[in-house]
Amino acid sequence: MKGPDQLCESYGQAMLDKDGRAIAGHYLFPYISFTLGGVHSFEDRATADEACTQQVARFGRSGVGTDIRLKDYKVVPVSNDAALCHLTWEVFPQDGTPGWSWLNIYGYRRKGDEEGFEFNISDNEIAELLKRFPTFFSL
């Protein structure tokens, strides 16, 4: 078991490695994402693997690029087996757009021998991304 601190660090490394499958490997299922009033979920690992791999590719195609780094994180315990993880990310776009940072919240959960993120709130990420790359999701 890694615990929430090591999971946050490992998640940051998976993002640096540009590895959609490794990113998805940090999730518990069903995984739920709350974004700007919308809800999206990955019911299983196969769905998450495909979606995360496609998202990494979309970052590359869009001009944003894949230089996305975990800048900082804070773990706020909720119970013995749960925490809210505040992850601050920064991106350095490949197309010359000035970089920026944002905060996402992830819900960490330990369930028996499993652990991972079971949800995220990514309003800041997507709002900032769409300000700079309004056609991101159509690519």
Per-residue pLDDT of the chain (139 residues; tens, 9 = 90+): 679 999 999 999 999 999 999 999 999 999 999 999 999 999 999 999 999 999 999 999 999 999 999 999 999 999 999 999 999 999 999 999 999 999 999 999 999 999 999 999 999 999 999 999 999 998 7
Specify the pLDDT at position 2: 79
Domains and CATH numbers, the chain: 3-138 (3.10.450.50)
| Gyration radius of the chain over CA positions | 14
SS (H, E, C) 63-91: CCCCCEEEEEEEEEEEECCEEEEEEEEEE
Specify the pLDDT at position 139: 76
Specify the pLDDT at position 117: 98
Q: What is the pLDDT of residues 72-112, one digit of tens each?
A: 999 999 999 999 999 999 999 999 999 999 999 999 999 99
> Considering the entire predicted model, what is its pTM?
0.94
- Cross-sheet strand order for the sheet of 82-91: 38-42, 27-35, 114-121, 100-111, 82-91, 68-79
